[in-house]
Amino acid sequence: MKNAFTLAVFGFTLTILCSAQTQGAKPLSFSLEKVQRVEILYFPERVLVRVALSPERLEQLYRYKLEIRDVRESAEWQRLRAQLRETFVTRSGHGYDHRTAVLLFDQNGRRLASVCFDQFGRGGTIDGDSGTIAGGLYDWAKSLLKGVAE
């Protein structure tokens, strides 16, 4: 009886911990079909700054900007769409030195989401939530900047 109780408590605790981890992961919260325009902002890692760049400062101080107006009509749409489906943040509350941003807009110019990455593409901020970012969105954005912003 004692072993059964211990096993039940262990199972309950494990369920709570797994549930808490899942709740910490936040996916992008909009319909992908609403995306009309994408902006990629970049501030080179080699340029030193006194204070880590917040998402807001990155939007003010970026050195490079790539815009795709009708992204759903572009050759990049299928790749982008796949990456957006896999993108989520596991909240940590850490601050990051943001160097690359992917901003998504609808047909009326309203921002749907902002995804800002640190220099390694593993940490950053999605719509104000900071943490570890999963998915290949960073690699997709950097591949488009290759040869232009190095």
DSSP designation for 44: -
108-128 pLDDT tens trace? 999 999 999 999 999 999 999
Written as six digits, the tokens of 105 are 């807009």
Q: What is the pLDDT of residues 93-103, one digit of tens each?
A: 789 999 999 99
d(CA 58, CA 118): 11
CA distance 97 to 76: 27
Q: Is 149 helix (H, G, I), strand (E, B) or coil?
A: coil
